[in-house]
A and B are shown apart, each in its own frame.
Chain A
Amino acid sequence: MTEQLTIAMPKGRIFEEAAELLRTAGYTLPPEFDDSRKLIIDVAEENFRFILSKPMDVATYVEHGVADLGIAGKDVLLEEERDVYELLDLKISPCYLAVAGLPGTKMNDVAPKVATKYPKVAEAFFREQGEQVEIIKLNGSIELAPLIGLSDRIVDIVSTGRTLKENGLVEFETITPITSRLIVNPVSYRMKDERISAMVNALSKVI
């Protein structure tokens, strides 16, 4: 009997894409995970346990070792700076972090305001540009902020750019490209190294 691997995954599209990737890599997973309300899904064939969490929380579960592995967006890793191994770029769910705002507007000279779900990333980005900004943390619908006068700019994930367009916003700068990464708890990386190395090898052949 092999040791169980606990894998933290974001709910939704990334989960489906990651599951497909694991199937292609030769793992036997059920063709469909239908009961979407379950938070813990066991796959007996492979002795996997999937934990379904909010994307922002995946790295937290892995850092504390309650999950051995996780699939997390690079955006989450940049923002959360968790002590985990980032082993593979799975190249799924590509998108990028960008600065956006209303067309033709300039940032306020005295107190430029930036609304974002990613306060650390945003602050670091503007600081490197030689600019001190005031960060306003929002949890969603970031596009609203410039429309109703809460901020001059937003920092957010852009995948197709449609949401920005439909709300009359334009991109000013790209911060960094984002894809999903395979992350591993440092202790699991040592204590379950054979199973984890096998997975890394199998996945890297199909990416």
Chain B
Amino acid sequence: MSRLFMFEKPLGMRDSLPDIYETKQHVRSALEGEIRQWGYQFIGTPTLEYYETVGTASAILDQQLFKLLDREGHTLVLRPDMTAPIARVAASKLLKDDLPFRLAYSANVFRAQQREGGRPAEFEQVGVECIGDGTVSADGEMIALAISSLKEAGLKDFQLSVGNAGFVRELFLQILGTEERVQELTRFLYEKNYVGYREHVKSLPLSSIDSQRLLAFLELRGGPEVIGRALDLVENEEGKEAVLQLERLWEIITDYGAASHIKFDLTLVSHMSYYTGILFEIYSGKVGFPIGNGGRYDGLLQKFGKSTSATGFAFRLDRLIEALGELDETVPVSCILFSAERRKEACLLANKQRTSGQRVVLQDISGVKNIDACTSKYNDVTFLVGKAGKEPDHD
């Protein structure tokens, strides 16, 4: 290992300097404000969790976890997402009566980088979980809230692609018959390898009709017309029900007046069958990666001892900020430069300006070596130097 220079940080770790900190704060509070208005309650959970509990229950791949040992030799993880910790709290503490629970969070999560930079290993997520409501209305609420929050944050150019993991499962299981074969084929979808998917389908001992159905499945992307095409592909009741869920979802989103932001993409899947029903990803034209995602994960709470349904979503604050582009949110800061004999006057003035909501720096002039550099740093500079009683000079 080469010797570290004092300025170095671990791979993927980033500082938030004042400008970006301010921007983050601004975007975060817009999202949080909207989420609160929908009645969600914010909670916090520890940064460290046990690997055996939250680590293994999480949707994040094992090789992306930061692991360490505690004094007893238990493996700990830096939380890779917030959904698993919230499932832990909900299952063990909160879910007392059988009522739907609406929780929210803004928190930093940690995912180790495999090979190179360009992606942060620690980033902030703002998200919600709706626990204990298995209806499509809850799925619709997730999508509508996501759209509404993004609008509140000022994003215009974005789109949600919506799929249903339950539909993919039913269609594949019905045609392929065994769990093993379903997983094999789903893997091609998860790896986004359509060439491999098609070759694999052609290599399977299937009737030409069934092969056709699996190939036509890849085309199930677009507006509400996709629902009809999906319905033609499935034959069993469970499969049809999964499609009808999407039809109801479309109606719900239309009722919210947000349908122009969504498209269907039934090829959307997650690894390890983490998502069990309706799922979605959020894209913006300016960013090469999804700015958020979400979906129904009815299996997770059971891992923490409470069998109940749940759905949620999370935004990635860093990518959302990239999507928003240049935000001209610099708040003016003024400065009062004072000399010792006029300190009291300076304090009173600063107090007055701060009470009226301004940001004011109070700076003893004898601590400033370069007055020109100091005055150019602030939007407005007041000099309270020399003999008392003189009118303040504005720069």
Check B161 for interface membership: any CB of A closer than 8 A. Answer: yes
Q: Are B194 and A193 in contact (CB under 8 A)?
A: no
Q: Are B288 and A187 in contact (CB under 8 A)?
A: yes
Check B289 for interface membership: any CB of A closer than 8 A. Answer: yes
Q: Are A191 and B285 in contact (CB under 8 A)?
A: yes
Q: Are A86 and B289 in contact (CB under 8 A)?
A: no
Q: Chain B residues with Cβ under 8 A from A185's Cβ?
A: 288
* Smallest CB separation, A100 vs chain B (Å): 26
Check A181 for interface membership: any CB of B closer than 8 A. Answer: yes
A187 in complex: contacting residue of B192, B193, B194, B283, CB < 8 Å: B283
Q: Chain A residues with Cβ under 8 A from B283's Cβ?
A: 186-187, 190-191
Q: Are A191 and B159 in contact (CB under 8 A)?
A: yes
Check A63 for interface membership: any CB of B closer than 8 A. Answer: yes
* Smallest CB separation, B40 vs chain A (Å): 27
Q: Are A193 and B221 in contact (CB under 8 A)?
A: yes
The total of Cβ contacts below 8 Å across the A-B interface reads 50
Check A64 for interface membership: any CB of B closer than 8 A. Answer: yes
Q: Are A186 and B118 in contact (CB under 8 A)?
A: no
Q: Chain B residues with Cβ under 8 A from A84's Cβ?
A: 192
Q: Chain A residues with Cβ under 8 A from B285's Cβ?
A: 187, 191
Q: How far is the CA of A191 from the CA of B288 in the complex (A)?
A: 10
B118 in complex: contacting residue of A64, A83, A86, CB < 8 Å: A64
Q: Are A190 and B288 in contact (CB under 8 A)?
A: no
Q: Are A89 and B221 in contact (CB under 8 A)?
A: no
Q: Are B265 and A181 in contact (CB under 8 A)?
A: no
Q: 0/1 per residue, A75-86, Cβ < 8 Å to B?
A: 000000001111
Check A43 for interface membership: any CB of B closer than 8 A. Answer: no
A182 and chain B: residue at smallest CB distance: B195
Knowing A64-B118, A193-B221, the reply to whether A187 touches B290 (Cβ < 8 A) is: yes
A65 in complex: contacting residue of B192, B222, B263, B288, CB < 8 Å: B288
B283 and chain A: residue at smallest CB distance: A187
Q: Are A86 and B290 in contact (CB under 8 A)?
A: no
Q: 0/1 per residue, B284-302, Cβ < 8 Å to A?
A: 1101111000000000000
What is B's interface to A at a CB cutoff of 8 Å? 118, 159, 161, 192-196, 221-222, 263, 265, 281, 283-285, 287-290
Q: Which 8 A-B pairs have the closest CB atoms?
A: A65-B288, A85-B192, A187-B283, A89-B195, A86-B193, A191-B285, A86-B195, A190-B283
What is A's interface to B at a CB cutoff of 8 Å? 63-66, 83-89, 181, 185-188, 190-191, 193, 197
A-B contact pairs, 30 of them (CB 8 A): A63-B288, A65-B288, A66-B288, A83-B192, A85-B194, A86-B194, A87-B194, A87-B195, A88-B194, A88-B195, A181-B195, A185-B288, A186-B192, A186-B281, A186-B283, A187-B283, A187-B284, A187-B285, A187-B287, A187-B290, A188-B288, A190-B159, A190-B161, A190-B263, A190-B265, A190-B283, A191-B159, A191-B284, A191-B285, A193-B221
